[in-house]
Amino acid sequence: MILETLKRRIDDSAEIAKGMSSDSFGRSFYSRPIFLKVQEYVRNFKNGLASDKRWIIMLGLRGVGKSTILAQTYTHLIKSGVKKEHILYFSVDQIEVSGYSLVDYLNVYEKYLDKSFGTIKDQIYFLIDETQSEKNWGKILKTLYDRNKKFFIFSTGSSALELQASPDVARRSTFEKLYPLSFPEYRMIKNRSLAKKGLKAAIENALYFSENAIECHTRLQAIEAEVDNYWSDISENEREKYLMTGMFPFTVQYVNPESAFTQLNSVIDKIINDDLRAIKSFEPETVEKIKSIIVYLSDKDVISIVKMAGLVGMHPITATNVMEALTKAELLIKVPPLGSSSSKIKKVRKAAKFLFMSPNMRAALAKVYSIKADPYELKGYLLEDFAALHFYREFVGRGRGILTYDTTENRADFILDIVSGNRLAIEIGNKEKGVTQVWNTLEERKCDYGIVINQDRLSICEKQTVVSVPHKFFFLA
């Protein structure tokens, strides 16, 4: 029975992959930048290069597009001449529904090939989705990896997988993070529109790696025409749509935002009920209250955990553990406070900021739980979420920087310390208030220069230390 199930899966894999990587009109999705990296891993493996890069583990929030990348990889392999019999492409949660385990499926595939895994001379590709559904995934895939150097494994799962990985798994595998869509990726999927190659890098180099504010301003001026050209055919409310419902591939095509909000809340529920269990074991009564905590956060950033715990009826220590688990699951981004010292890494015991990995999550909670009739009334928080995701994706998650905030009143929203680079004070807000806040942080915290992200024109302050950067730049960085 299981052998017949596996045979059907192998025969149907091409159609399944096509369905996972095409829109409702049958048009293939454009490839996100990370897929090019996966292609490079595959190409090097096929050519006998980089033999230590033959187990790729892609992590990320539910719904960010990991399954699509896996499907595109299957199609790429077939087009490059790999036989369908040499690709095992499946989802662990689906075979478990059929009553089979990951070990069962791998064992029957070995029988299907009619050779012991250890003696196979052909290159074999294992494309495995939803790996977190198998409790012992690490041991099982490590054993598979060790059995034959002709095996290439590409597995996906929730962000918690990295925490579960043993040292043996970590030594053998390469972790890749997939984040919610950037604005150019959103436009690529929705409108099949591509940004000019190199524009993102030019903006980031100007913003974060200039010698001072004057150079930052000058470099941004030099590329402003290219930026304006990108936005020339984009409606004024497109950024609003993106912040509300446009950061997950499955929500981009929704015409009705209410449907997107409903689906996003379902994703949050799955994170609570499934993913958190892989991080920490909570009592059932605690799990029931976690959604209340997340809803409580939907119109806040800096919180008192003691106060929040009291409101939801939870012990403060338990509430602290819940917040840490939600951060490790990457539903939330924790931005710790910076201390009064001018040291770049010294922190103090004050309330942390907790921002959502995607502003879409905050907007969905605000709407479904009636925090706001119009979630865009939370625009300030949505923009902070977007900025935190950007800094996490480009710096913190890559080990390239540290993100904190200044706890003193009337200070900038963020302090970004780039490894072996600049310390920047960054404010997400309107021009006048933002510049004042950045000035205060800049002087007190000895920053190299300041940035205010706003809707105004590109400009530099009288002191030549703070650059006001319009959204049109930041959304492309």
Does the pLDDT of residue 342 top 70, yes or no? no
pLDDT band for 185, please (50, 70, 90 cuts): very high
Dihedral over Cα of 156, 152, 169, 172: its sign: negative
pLDDT at 54: 96
Q: Mean of the pLDDT values across residues 188-211?
A: 93
pLDDT band for 14, please (50, 70, 90 cuts): very high
Q: Where are the alpha helices (DSSP H) in 232-315?
A: 238-245, 249-252, 257-270, 284-297, 305-312
- Residue with the bigger pLDDT between 328 and 347: it is 328
pLDDT at 431: 53
Q: pLDDT digit string (tens) for 59-72?
A: 999 999 999 999 99
Contact 458, 442 (CB under 8 A): no
pLDDT at 222: 98
pLDDT at 253: 82
Q: Mean of the pLDDT values across residues 40-47?
A: 95
Alpha carbon of residue 330 to chain centroid: 8
Phi-psi region of 134 (alpha: psi -120 to 50; beta: other; left: phi over 0): beta
Q: Residue 381 and residue 376: Cα distance in Å, rounded? A: 9
Does the pLDDT of residue 346 top 70, yes or no? no
Does the pLDDT of residue 331 top 80, yes or no? yes
Does the pLDDT of residue 442 top 80, yes or no? yes
Percent share of the chain, pLDDT over 70: 97
Greatest Cα-to-Cα distance within the chain, rounded to the nearest angstrom: 76
End-to-end CA, the chain:
51
pLDDT at 430: 57
pLDDT band for 347, please (50, 70, 90 cuts): very low
Pairing relationship of beta strands 401-406 and 414-418 according to DSSP bridges:
antiparallel
Pairing relationship of beta strands 449-454 and 423-428 according to DSSP bridges:
parallel
Q: Where are the alpha helices (DSSP H) in 47-160?
A: 66-79, 92-97, 102-113, 137-147
Q: Residue 396 and residue 409: Cα distance in Å, rounded? A: 25
Burial degree of 437 (CB within 10 A; 0-12, 13-18, 19+): buried
Q: pLDDT digit string (tens) for 67-121?
A: 999 999 999 999 999 999 999 999 999 998 888 999 999 999 999 999 999 999 9
Please spell the DSSP secondary structure of 206-254, one letter per residue. HHHS-SSHHHHHHHHHHHHHHHHHHHTTS-TTHHHHHHHH-SSHHHHT-
Q: pLDDT digit string (tens) for 392-408?
A: 999 999 999 999 999 98
Does the pLDDT of residue 348 top 60, yes or no? no
Average of per-residue pLDDT values in the chain = 92
Does the pLDDT of residue 135 top 90, yes or no? no
- Residue with the bigger pLDDT between 464 and 432: it is 464
pLDDT at 52: 84
pLDDT at 37: 95
pTM of the entire structure?
A: 0.92
Q: Mean of the pLDDT values across residues 18-33?
A: 86
Q: pLDDT digit string (tens) for 407-417?
A: 988 999 999 99
Does the pLDDT of residue 343 top 50, yes or no? no
Percent share of the chain, pLDDT over 90: 79
Does the pLDDT of residue 124 top 70, yes or no? yes
Q: pLDDT digit string (tens) for 221-280?
A: 999 999 999 999 999 899 999 999 999 999 998 889 999 999 999 999 999 998 898 888
pLDDT at 28: 86
pLDDT at 341: 37
- Residue with the bigger pLDDT between 172 and 165: it is 172
Q: Which residues pair with 126 in a beta bridge?
A: 88, 153
